Amino acid sequence: MSVEDWLLTAWQRENRATSLPAWCVGSRAEALIDGAGYFDRLVDEVGALQRDDHLFFTDWRGDRDQLLRDGGPTVGQLFGAAARRGVVVRGLMWRSHLDVLQFSQEENRQVSEEIESCGGQVLLDQRVRRGGSHHQKLVVLRHLDAPERDVAFAGGIDLCHGRRDDSVHRGDRQAVAMSKQYGPHPPWHDVQVEHRGPVVGALDTCFRERWNDPTSLVVKRPVAWLSDKARGATLEVSPLPPQPPDPPECGPHTVQVLRTYPKVRPAYPFAPGGERSIARGYAKAIRRARRLIYLEDQYMWSTEIARLFARALRDNPELHLVVVVPRYPDIDGALALPPNLVGRQQAIAVCRKAGGERVHVFDVENPEGVPVYVHAKVCVVDDVWACAGSDNFNRRSWTHDSELSCAVLDDTRDLREPRDVAGTGDGARVYARALRLRLMGEHLDRPAGDASDLVDPRKAVQAIESSAHALEAWHACGRHGPRPSGRLRPHKPERLHPFARMWALPVYRAVYDPDGRPRRDRVRRRW
């Protein structure tokens, strides 16, 4: 099967003015598991930028004082120092809802002000659908005199408190407020992907399209405009320097940049009808699955998305679905908790009705038994297609907010058995298989490289089921004796009282998981 067979339909039926390529050949992707590794790499790469080089970033939340390494620098110090060296530093932070609603308006404003005091420019961007957000997490670094060093980081990790955790998962010392179930320093599992080669040019274009959108930063929000004006916030968008040519080819990966933009008024110039290539890319990959879909997701909420998995499970009797989710929502309380629970319960029920015992849902804990918050948004299909980004598996991420993900297909095949997981002729690819094995290996407490029994999908499912049930039995017996290896436990969603379920469902659909598609696509249930 060709790369085009996997990637093309994600771009069909798109009516948009973007200049993004359909895919980027000759790129190189490296998954950075958990925030400590990503932040460490980011410090090195930003520190190498020189005068007139480019540092562009987008984020949902930022904290200027977030330490990127022990002893520093912080986010504000790293990016501010680059601006003082003459690097062109430009950022797009979501303007955010109020902090009193457990969002990050003040934190994002502080990031903007600190970097701008050093000579950069960071815009607070509210060009979204009402109730929506800019959820993309992207850093693009361009070296004008050394394009072979250009690099971009895209995935699920924000530049903020709580994200700097490692594979041991004892949490970031700079904690975020979360459900008390996660303790004072919530353990945090996440993934960011480092990209090099031509795909960096495509990700640079993604930033430029948003930056150059002529719509007001606070669309139809006079109170927000007056507030920004009163405190002297930047409202005029400065022009960006010319875009450099794409970096040279440097690797075996074909990368497709996938995005979500809702249909809005005034329309995005680069997506006049909105864009749902993330949804279409996933829909096609899921349809092609034959043996194993491995998924890590913060939410796994929407029944519409669950139906994609259900159909694949019904059509392919050997297909297994492995899902890793957080044990508890990130917030609790009598009003906030039920809407967070009801969507996932519905989605899991839809999948289990179709796949029965072939649906395996787990959550994660650290060696001390504290639950790990799974914030990653990763999917691997049959060790061929792998995707990681900012989007969750819910309707909001696939239709309503702005999102950014990258699907990777590897031109090199993994020659370990089984070579062709799905029996479709695609063959297992090195990147996709290595990503799955690394993630499974971390959750099973395996030393690096010790994953020979996880290569075969059937044996991998047996291994994680055996490990999870052994750990669950150890807990059930009062934690007597040595703790079994591994960190996965079978996920047991909390039960909702029928009355709570009755009011939580409409709130979940309207507020937590809204639909940003045009009406005709909603009616036709078309992504």
Task: Identify the structural domains of the chain with CATH numbers, from first to last.
Answer: 28-252 (3.30.870.10), 291-362+413-512 (no CATH)
DSSP state, residue 145: T
**For residue 92, pLDDT beyond 90:** yes
Under 8 Å between Cβ of 472 and 490: yes
Q: Which residues contact 44 (CB under 8 A, 6 or more apart)?
A: none
Give the chain's length.
527
The amino acid at residue 507 is: V
Tokens 């005199």 -> residue: 145
DSSP state, residue 159: B
Tokens 């009808």 -> residue: 273
Q: What is the pLDDT of residues 186-206, one digit of tens each?
A: 999 999 999 999 999 999 999
Q: Say which residue, 208 or 236, is predicted with more confidence.
A: 208
pLDDT score for 351: 96
CA pair distance 87, 45, nearest whole angstrom: 13
Give the number of other CB atoms < 10 A from CB of residue 313. Answer: 24
Q: Which residues contact 153 (CB under 8 A, 6 or more apart)?
A: 32, 38, 41, 42, 138, 139, 192, 193, 194, 195
Q: Which two structure tokens, joined as six digits, stand for 380?
A: 């691997």
Least confident among 160-164, 329-333, 388-392: 329-333
CA pair distance 438, 450, nearest whole angstrom: 10
Q: What is the pLDDT of residues 266-297, one digit of tens each?
A: 999 999 989 999 999 999 999 999 999 999 99
* H/E element, 77: helix 75-84
Least confident among 36-45, 226-235, 247-256, 355-364: 226-235
Q: Say which residue, 11 or 480, is predicted with more confidence.
A: 480
Under 8 Å between Cβ of 377 and 135: no
Pairing of the two strands 24-33 and 292-296 = unpaired
DSSP annotation string for 179-236: -GGG-SS--EE-EEEEEESTHHHHHHHHHHHHHT--S-TTTT-HHHHHHHHHTT---S
Q: Quick one: what percent of the chain has pLDDT higher than 90?
A: 76
